[in-house]
Amino acid sequence: MPKPYKGIFPFKIGTTSFIYQDGYVPNVKMLGPYIDEIELLLFESKPGSLPKKNEINQLSLLSKEFDITYNIHLPTDIFFGDKDPSVRQHAVETILHVLELTSPLSPLTCTLHISYDELSVEKDNILQWQELIYQTIKQLINFGVDAEVISIENLNYPFEWIEDVVRAFNFKICMDIGHLVVSDRNIKAFFNSYATKISIIHLHGAKNGLDHLSLERLSKERVGQIMEILKKFTKVVSIEVFSYDALVTSLEFLEKCWGKNELIEQVPQAGFANLHKLS
């Protein structure tokens, strides 16, 4: 990494554990000196995919060495709203296992996908899915899981479909800006609606239906909206990309935009006509 970004923003800046084509520990060793937090991607729950206990112990030691914190991206190959009870039971058991496995890391949040995989968006299908989600989540909470440790991520369906579950159990929210951009949704309206519950923002570029790109790929309009949001946010912003080049260009772009934003705020109203001289 060309330079460290620790502590330069009012929020914690982080990225994923998939920046280098290596394991969790090597990624943390290479990223730890440069950022505030690392998003540990535990996308798959099948045997052999999750980190071993000795890796967790190493990650715990590295968090102290580099003064970093972690957040966990929970497995995405589980389905809380599936019509098959055994699939829903597997989802509950998987989350319980991962939460126990990663507890020594004291993650600031654990992000959960609640996917909607039905082809139909008829009201009856959505209502059935919502009821199954509610019952499965209730089972999870009955095992003693602290709902405030979990952040529900917005996906490709309207977040309003899951909003009642989020509020009923007092979950936090993971605001994925890239998903909102790809879906052409109003990111400022989303933030304003849920600001008090958002514990983490996933930030990545999106263009032509593709996401998890460098922030450089965002339109000027979207960048302006994002800067407005970040000015009001003090928790965790994870640059959710999966390569070194995408991370470096994203961090450089964010720092540049943040600097311009600070200059704009310092210019008196009468001086806006000459603002181009500052850039």
Tell me which amino acid residue 69 is. Answer: T
The 10s digit of each residue's pLDDT in 210-228 is 999 999 999 999 999 999 9
What pLDDT is attached to residue 252? 98
Whether pLDDT at 274 is above 50: no
105's tokens: 């890391």
pLDDT above 90 covers a percentage of the chain that reads 90
List CB contacts of 164: < 8 A, sequence separation 6 or more: 130
Q: What is the dihedral of CA 10, 12, 18, 24, to 10 degrees?
A: 160
The 10s digit of each residue's pLDDT in 261-271 is 765 555 444 44
Taking the C-alpha atoms of residue 10 and residue 80, their distance in angstroms, rounded to an integer, is 35
Alpha-carbon separation of residue 121 from 129, 164, 171, 185 (angstroms):
10, 18, 25, 18
Whether pLDDT at 22 is above 60: yes
What pLDDT is attached to residue 77? 97
Alpha-carbon separation of residue 117 from 3, 21, 77, 242 (angstroms):
42, 30, 12, 25
What pLDDT is attached to residue 47? 86
Taking the C-alpha atoms of residue 159 and residue 274, their distance in angstroms, rounded to an integer, is 41
SS3 content of the chain, % helix, strand, coil (to 5): 50, 15, 35
What pLDDT is attached to residue 120? 85
Domains of the chain and any CATH numbers? 12-278 (3.20.20.150)
What pLDDT is attached to residue 271? 42
Among 211, 275, 203, 216, residue whose Cα is nearest residue 245: 216
Q: Which of 58-62, 115-119, 269-273 has the highest mean pLDDT?
A: 58-62
The 10s digit of each residue's pLDDT in 120-176 is 889 999 999 999 999 999 999 999 999 999 999 999 999 999 999 999 999 999 999
Whether pLDDT at 7 is above 70: yes
- The H or E element spanning position 101 is helix 85-102
Q: Mean pLDDT, the chain, as a whole number?
A: 94
Task: Read off the pLDDT band of 118 (50, 70, 90).
Answer: confident
Strands 205-207 and 210-213 turn out to be antiparallel
Q: What are the strands, taking DSSP E only, across 74-220?
A: 110-112, 150-153, 172-176, 198-203, 205-207, 210-213
